[in-house]
Structure 1
Amino acid sequence: MADAAIFYFQRTLYKESDKTSTWQTIPENTTVVTAYIDIGPFSKGYLHRKRSTTFYFERAKAFKFLLNSLIVFTNSNIFKHYMLELRRDLLSVTKVFLIDSMSIRSFQYIKQIQEIFLLHSYPKYYPHTTNPMYTCVTHAKFDFLLNATTENTFKSKYFMWLDVGYYSSKTSLKMFYLSKPPSFDETKIAADQVVSNLTQALELDPNTIFKKKMSIVAAGLLYGERSRIIYFSKLYQRGFRYFLSQNLTNSEQQVIYAIYCDKGSRILKPAVELQYYRAPGAPYYHFLGTRLMKVSSLS
């Protein structure tokens, strides 16, 4: 029955001018949430290695081929119109919100974050612990997720966060959609595991996690049922504020790790667990994204 629905969707897609007339026949009806907050060029990895804004514009081209409903947040009017042009055949399942970055909840803590980064003893990782605006952007994805899931514009059961630069612009020259992960537990949040020994990794304490920039999952793609995403986003915000009060901050991956490590779990008591997807062999940050992608055979 699902295959018949997909075929009907693909056949209708090319018979009608509005490519989204039957978008709800995509299995599991997953809404994708992403964002681009322009903070100008910044150092990535090393002080003199710069990442320009053109990187994200180039990577965003992949969204032209994404059949899922899409919600985009940006502080850039140029990027807003760029995305609307990319999605011109999918506008009925696309919402692009132009926002003031300083209105984002995580940005309210930028001065406190900067004060921590200025501490002589605090480790310097570019841009994670050197650029407060970059760090706020990584935390903001949970503000955006909470907004999108609460509003639920497209009446979706499932939501996923997808970094705007997650897929290469050459990922697919065909229409594709992102569906539920295999063997997905709907009580959990799906994420890529990027450590080999999970039990051992969870024994680390938050201080080590933040100051050594350790990660347990990649946060470029997170998938969950709507009510679980809402809870997870609120849990994240609570954890972010708690660790900030302990003079600990870094990117979103360190906050997630610190919440779910043994010590963090005892303090924050998360009521939603992570479902870890691990690539065979070496950790691969985009493994889950390859498992979710379904390419349309009639593109």
Structure 2
Amino acid sequence: MTYSPKLSRLIFRSITPKIKRLVVLGIIAVVSVSYFLARNSSYGAAGKDIGKTSPLFILEQPMSNNYSAQNPTIVTGFIDIGKFIKGSVSRQLDTYLEWFKVWSKIRQPVVFYFDKKWIYTTFSRHRRGIPTKYIYVNMFQNEEHWSWKLLQKTKRIFAQENYPQHHPPTTNAHYSVIMHGKYEFLENAIDNNYFHSPYIMWLDIGLFRDYRANDCFKLKIPPNFNDSKIAFNKVKNFIGNKSSEWIIRNMPFWLCGCILVGRVEVMKKFIRQYRLVRDVLMERNLTGDDQMILYSMFSDYTLGVSLNVDVQTYEDIYRNPSYVWFYLGYAMKSETPCVHLNHTSDV
């Protein structure tokens, strides 16, 4: 049978509008899957890996960017490592599922990193209609991935005799690597410039866990922010001139790793600075979570790392127990109407 363009046109005209729409959607789906696999191949999400833990998504309409430059792009994520001990409490997955809900009220662009289909399904349900970029990451199944290599080093360090036991920063290697991973996710979001905002921030999934109001909100640049620095939430006073060994052993609190904010070009420099400190500590057979790395960065003068980016801290001067760790997030909060934004989410 020979191909006839004229015959093809006649056949297409005879198809009902509903079938035509299905055909077009099918073509879009094929193109979208190819796009998704290509964009995420650097994270080990291509080929057979993606079929194990992640769905093949349909890329919907491109998202416009009509948000104020004062609203940073929010980067966050959730990687499933099951239940684990945090302090004296066993942290269950159900807890995080509950924390997902507040993200339906955060009305600005979000870049979300995940590793399981159920995480995407649950989180995207709460973000319906709000611009969100979903990035699948295969952190612990790809031996060539940075996180796999970091995991092996971390396990060896934690296995040392008499290594400090703080749950989970110095006992759960997967948790430790994920805490370092937030800086890798931030860098990926900066490099891909998903929402073209001059500011970017990390926001932990559970920072607004206690928010019960019906109002929606956006997060603006912190008050009196110095663009040459990175904003952090201060938990307790800083003790200078302490060795990294002392910091790992005693686990003092200074900055909360739950939120950090900065201009994209400054954040990029800070990420490199963070990574250098982390790697120097690992060469000394020391590691923990990101809060320990940050403390060592500014306290241990023997590390030999040039600190080109400083931090600007914000704290609750009233020491309200509900806000000591999360004050900066609430200081940035600006109420906005809970209207449907008519945007689609992108994967």
Q: TM-score range by the shorter chain?
A: 0.7 to 0.9
- C-alpha distance in 2 between matches for 1:95 and 1:108: 26
CA contact (8 A) 2:233 2:314 kept: yes
2:200 aligned counterpart, secondary structure: strand
| Partner SS state of residue 267, structure 1 | coil
Q: State yes or no: 1:109 paired with 2:150.
A: yes
Q: Kindly provide the amino acid, as one letter, of the partner of residue 173 in structure 2.
A: P
Please state if 1:140 is matched with 2:178: no
Write out per-residue CA displacement over residues 69-121 of structure 1, whole angstroms, 9 at most, x where no aligned residue: 0000011111111121111111xx21111221225523421122111211221
1:131 lines up with 2:169 in the alignment: no
**Residue 226 in structure 1 maps to residue 226 in structure 2:** no
**RMSD between aligned alpha carbons?**
2.0
Q: Distance in 2 between matches of 1:95 and 1:25?
A: 15
The residue aligned with 1:293 is 333
Deviation readout 1:184-235 (Å, 9 max, x if unpaired): 0000000011223x3xx12222111112112321110000000011111121
* Distance in 2 between residues matched to 1:67 and 1:298, nearest whole Å: 8
1:68 aligns with 2:105: no
Task: Give the superposition deviation at 1:171.
Answer: 4.1
Give 1:69's aligned amino acid: P
Residue in structure 2 matched with residue 10 of structure 1 by the alignment: none
Structure 1, 111-120 or 174-183: larger mean CA deviation: 111-120
Corresponding residue for 1:40? 82
Partner of 2:26: none
Residue aligning to 2:247: 209
Contact kept in structure 1, 2:230 and 2:261, CA below 8 Å: yes
Residues 263 and 174 of structure 1, relative CA distance in 2, 3 Å threshold? same
Q: Give the TM-score taking structure 1 as reference length.
A: 0.85
Between 1:103-112 and 1:212-221, the stretch displaced more is: 103-112
**Equivalent-residue separation in structure 2 for 1:94 and 1:121 (angstroms):** 44
- Aligned residue number for residue 73 of structure 2: 31
1:162 aligns with 2:216: no
User: CA shift at 1:55, angstroms?
Assistant: 1.1
| 1:62–1:168 CA contact under 8 A, matched in 2 | yes
Segment of structure 1 superposing worse, 96-105 or 129-138: 96-105
> Which of the residues 90, 102, 105 maps onto 1:50?
90
The one of 239, 242, 246 aligned to 2:277: 239
CA distance in 1, matches of 2:182, 2:304: 23
Letter in 2 for 1:272: V
Provide the rounded CA distance (Å) in 2 between the counterparts of 1:263 and 1:39. 34
Distance in 2 separating the partners of 1:107 and 1:30: 30
* Structure 1 residue identity aligned to 2:280: Y
In the aligned structure 2, how far is the partner of 1:149 from the partner of 1:165? 22
The amino acid that maps onto 2:329 is G
Which whole-Å CA distance do the structure 1 matches of 2:305 and 2:337 have between them? 45
**2:43 aligned residue:** none
Distance 1:70 1:269, change over 3 A: same
- CA distance in structure 2 between the partners assigned to 1:97 and 1:169 by the alignment: 27
Contact 1:107 1:133 in 2 (8 A): no
Q: Which residue of 2 aligns with 1:274?
A: 311
Q: Give the secondary-structure state (helix, strand or coil) at the position aligned to 2:66.
A: helix
5+ residue gaps, structure 2, are 1-61, 340-347
Select the structure of larger CA radius of gyration: 2
> After TM superposition, which residue ranges in structure 1, 4 or more long, deviate above 6 angstroms?
none
How far apart, CA to CA, are the structure 1 residues paired with 2:257 and 2:292?
10
Aligned partners of 2:110 and 2:338: how far apart in 1?
21
TM-score (norm 2): 0.74
C-alpha contact (below 8 Å) 2:65/2:195 kept by paired residues: no
Distance in 1, matches of 2:185 and 2:67, equals 25
The CA deviation at 1:21 is 8.3
Structure 1 residue ranges without an equivalent (≥5): 1-19
8 Å contact kept, 2:244–2:300: no
1:174 aligned onto 2:215: yes
Amino-acid identity (%): 25
